[in-house]
Structure 1
């Protein structure tokens, strides 16, 4: 399954929803004409397999020294498991914070200082949560080669945050690809302009 087919599946299955009339409001308070719920991908075997295979191919290309695949809690964990299986690599996952009991681990699985890890999350908006996981892995002494995701909005905040963290980011799908594909299929020219306007200034966007 090619990336454009994955995008089509995400929209057809209403995992990605473009709203022509009513804004979505994110937890951050940002208003948007698009909502992405990639957690739903786990319910569709063919789709999740295609995502895993395409992510694995991307990671091999962008991070050739990778020795461990890491999942970022919680939505990145299942996808990391499937990618690790495709690549026949070990896997770990990173909690949002250390456990408050037992051995107090934040990272589950085995890592060594010789390992090169790529962390996977489902969606990147500003990159804040995944970069916290990057920092947690770096504190173990392992080398973080970079981050990959199923989808990113390509927001300026994310670009700035990844640059500050000196961390390479390689997404499978991005917002521009999605809206360019939709303008050719289902989105009107006026709706396309709204989608583009939001992307250019999401924090100040008004429909």
Structure 2
């Protein structure tokens, strides 16, 4: 079993990934999806939380280059980023979705220095828009974004294109392919349901529109 398969099984075991092909979920964007992922649940299971933190540390070390600090996306990337920063003994900050509307009106909370090599931690990547916005905020503060580390990615082509255009490497602990394998091997997903998920994965916008959701 690969590390990605092991993490995928953890996601299923703790209920972080819900598969509902026949009654799709509605994402914040208005898109309909047969999958909903809530990686916050990983934090409630100490053994799983520890494995995810160790996997993030391994991913950080595998980057090879020098990293000065860790940052997390608000809010779901904050705990995973803080756990990684603690294990790596690195400074930690987090990036809000938008600048705070009062006080110093910060978007970045914590200290980020110009020229620092920063790893940005996210729990989930779908289209990549929100985490790449956070990466741009770090760049505007003078930092270099060495990579985005995420627990899980759906692996959409639009996300791959967005990360490529932004020039930001994306490293995930597990992904849709590993999740599909784990779901089939554990019996969490039958052949008919998998066919629905495969169609959705190939064109999530069209799948959503065909069922009355946003594209």
The answer, yes or no, to whether TM exceeds 0.5 is yes
Structure 2: any 5+ residue segments left out of the alignment?
Answer: none
1:82 alignment counterpart? 83
1:143 alignment counterpart? 144
Give the secondary-structure state (helix, strand or coil) at the position aligned to 1:184.
Answer: helix
* Aligned with residue 197 of structure 1, among 181, 194, 199: 199
TM-score normalised by the chain length of structure 1: 0.93
Aligned-residue CA RMSD in angstroms?
A: 1.7
Q: Aligned partners of 1:161 and 1:69: how far apart in 2?
A: 22
8 Å contact kept, 2:19–2:35: yes
Q: Aligned partners of 2:10 and 2:37: how far apart in 1?
A: 13
After superposing the two structures, state which structure 1 stretch, 4-13 or 30-39, moved more. Answer: 4-13
Q: Aligned partners of 2:106 and 2:33: how far apart in 1?
A: 36
Structure 1: any 5+ residue segments left out of the alignment?
Answer: none
Give the secondary-structure state (helix, strand or coil) at the position aligned to 1:86.
Answer: helix
Give the secondary-structure state (helix, strand or coil) at the position aligned to 1:65.
Answer: coil
After superposing the two structures, state which structure 1 stretch, 175-184 or 74-83, moved more. Answer: 175-184
Q: Aligned partners of 1:8 and 1:154: how far apart in 2?
A: 18
Return the offset for 1:66: 1.3
Give the secondary-structure state (helix, strand or coil) at the position aligned to 2:145.
Answer: strand
1:15 correspondence with 2:16: yes
8 Å contact kept, 2:75–2:96: yes
Q: Aligned partners of 2:141 and 2:27: how far apart in 1?
A: 33
8 Å contact kept, 1:63–1:145: no
1:59 alignment counterpart? 60
Q: Aligned partners of 1:176 and 1:14: how far apart in 2?
A: 18
The one of the two structures with greater contact order (alpha-carbon pairs below 8 A, sep at least 6) is: 2
8 Å contact kept, 2:153–2:176: yes
Return the offset for 1:2: 4.0
After superposing the two structures, state which structure 1 stretch, 21-30 or 69-78, moved more. Answer: 21-30
After superposing the two structures, state which structure 1 stretch, 98-107 or 66-75, moved more. Answer: 98-107
Q: Aligned partners of 1:72 and 1:191: how far apart in 2?
A: 32
